[in-house]
């Protein structure tokens, strides 16, 4: 049997891992194993080198404002390669703080604004921002959330807890529209983002353990880039999944 491999980088996995976002790696590994794919896992953290061509999937998890600010200081050394990875169609899942840092700017709860990598066009303001509608300021967005992606008909479930409010920009689609819960900013009914093969979201849970449909979609994208001749869709379709 062919020796298929999925090479995973977990960006800042020791800092950015709110509610066990690492579980997303466990979910992908679970499905990969069932279709004969082995997984190489590497934690890429502060001062480590990240090279675009070394990975087939990248996880960039969430963190509270403090961990996110530590991560942001290290990012400039990796951002060119992360940009290349994304623009080349590399698969990436960014959760909460990781999602925020891929965009243009991020505003912490204390009002400090930092630049994100800027490879994607969204921006994030804080919970007191004048950009927010009256009645939406001053509170964190916490709780269970359900969204639907109208293009593929899939429904996703998760748990959100964030102060930042993200607004999507040019070239970005939402991961889904909010059925219940708050989503990107509590106002425009968008949740998460899809840009090329990047999926961003505020969902913890972790999202891929709770939403096998999305895990299989992302796994198919990642494997198809590396091994384009294999019918990954067909192989994955045989595995039952649920979203709960």
Catalytic residues: 96, 204
Closer residue to ligand GLN, CB minimum distance, 4 or 19 = 19
Residues 6+ apart with CB under 8 A from 188: 167
Residues 6+ apart with CB under 8 A from 228: none
Q: Which of the residues 82 through 101 are near ligand GLN (CB under 6 A)?
A: 96-97
The reply to whether 23 sits near ligand GLN by the rule CB under 6 A is no
Closer residue to ligand GLN, CB minimum distance, 121 or 129 = 129
Distance CA(81)–CA(117), nearest Å, equals 11
Distance CA(230)–CA(233), nearest Å, equals 9
Residue 140 is assigned to a ligand binding site: yes
Tell me which of 29, 45, 64, 84 binds ligand GLN, using CB under 6 A.
64
Bridging pattern class, strands 190-191 and 176-180: antiparallel
Classify 215 in phi/psi space as left (phi over 0), alpha (psi -120 to 50) or beta.
Answer: alpha
Taking the alpha carbons of 154, 234, 1, 229 in that order, is the dihedral positive or negative? negative
CB of 37 to ligand GLN, least distance (A): 29
Q: Which two tokens stand for residue 125?
A: 């303001």
The reply to whether 158 sits near ligand GLN by the rule CB under 6 A is no
Tell me which of 10, 25, 28, 68 binds ligand GLN, using CB under 6 A.
68
The reply to whether 128 sits near ligand GLN by the rule CB under 6 A is no
Determine the interface stretch with ligand GLN among 44-52, 59-67, 168-176, 210-218 (rule: CB under 6 A).
Answer: 59-67
Closer residue to ligand GLN, CB minimum distance, 79 or 163 = 163
Residue positions counted in the chain: 244
φ/ψ (deg, to 5) at 71: -60, -45
The reply to whether 241 sits near ligand GLN by the rule CB under 6 A is no
Residues lying near ligand GLN in the complex (CB under 6 A) are found at 18, 62-65, 68, 96-97, 161-164
């Amino acid at each position: 049997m062919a020796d298929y491999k999925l090479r995973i980088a977990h960006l800042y996995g020791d800092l950015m891992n709110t509610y066990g976002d690492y579980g997303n790696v466990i979910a992908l590994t679970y499905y990969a194993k069932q279709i004969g794919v082995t997984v190489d896992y590497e934690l890429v953290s502060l001062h480590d080198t990240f090279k675009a061509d070394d990975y087939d999937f990248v996880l960039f998890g969430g963190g509270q404002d403090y961990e996110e600010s530590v991560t942001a200081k290290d990012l400039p050394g990796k951002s060119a390669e992360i940009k290349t990875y994304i623009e080349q169609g590399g698969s990436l899942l960014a959760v909460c703080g990781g999602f925020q840092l891929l965009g243009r700017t991020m505003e912490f709860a204390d009002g400090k604004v930092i630049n994100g990598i800027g490879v994607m066009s969204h921006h994030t303001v804080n919970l007191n921002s004048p950009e927010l509608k009256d009645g939406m300021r001053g509170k964190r967005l916490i709780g269970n959330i359900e969204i639907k992606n109208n293009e593929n008909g899939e429904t996703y479930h998760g748990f959100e807890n964030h102060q930042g409010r993200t607004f999507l920009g040019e070239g970005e689609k939402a991961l889904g529209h909010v059925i219940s819960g708050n989503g990107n900013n509590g106002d425009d009914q968008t949740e998460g983002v899809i840009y090329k093969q990047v999926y961003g979201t505020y969902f913890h849970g972790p999202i891929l353990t709770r939403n096998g449909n999305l895990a299989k979609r992302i796994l198919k994208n990642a494997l198809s880039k590396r091994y384009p001749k294999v019918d990954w869709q067909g192989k994955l379709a045989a595995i039952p999944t649920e979203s709960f």
